[in-house]
Amino acid sequence: MTVVVVGTSIEDAEGPDGWRPRLATRLGIPVVDRSLGGGCYTAADSNGDTIRKRIDEAVGELEPGVMFLAGPVNDLVRLSDVGPLRWAVHEADQAATAAGWRVVGGAIFPFHDGPGCAFQAGWFPNLEARRQAFNSWGAAHFAGRWVDLTWVLCETASVRGDRRWFRDGLHPNPLGAAIIAEAFPPNVLQT
């Protein structure tokens, strides 16, 4: 079985210390990256690429396995309403599912209202409200196929009393990557 991870720069591999390579080692299966650093589900980057384009490429090039549609931080920051994002993720889920993939949705957001987290709610106006709205929708839409690792990152940061699990306020460093890989529930990847 192969797991394909689609998302933004938080999901991009950064050598063997990234959370995807660590997850592959932990599970003993390939975890392939089809993320788009700086990309979105709802808008194209300067090269005309979108996360949806990455999804379609994976569906066309790889044997069906499990596809993890990771939480779109960039969309949440850029959009004032999560409606277009929900629709884009829903369509991506339908397209991959129709092609024989088991689709799992998820959230790896390094911000929350809790102390010690990367971004407080005031980092962008209403960002926390958008995060919560998308997370609630994702949990309902994917019903048993939703992974929310935000609490792990926030709880870890709060317990440690610092923010040493990310390198720049947003992207996990090796410590953060290890936390994500260890917390990822393998049962949601079962076909």
Report the pLDDT value the prediction gives residue 84, as an integer from 0 to 100: 93
**Domain coverage including residue 77:** 3-187
The count of structural domains within the chain is 1
| Band of residue 177 on the pLDDT scale cut at 50, 70, 90 | confident
Distance in angstroms (rounded) separating the CA atoms of residues 29 and 83: 34
Residue of higher predicted confidence among 177 and 113: 177
Distance in angstroms (rounded) separating the CA atoms of residues 53 and 38: 14
| Band of residue 53 on the pLDDT scale cut at 50, 70, 90 | very high
Residue written as token pair 């797991």: 3
Instruction: State the CATH number of the domain containing residue 60.
Output: 3.40.50.1110
Amino acid, single-letter form, for residue 64: P
Residue 123 contacts by C-beta under 8 Å, 6 or more apart in sequence?
A: 111
147-182 as b/e, with b when 16 or more CB fall inside 10 Å?
bebbebbbbbbeeeeebebbeeebbbebebbbbbbe
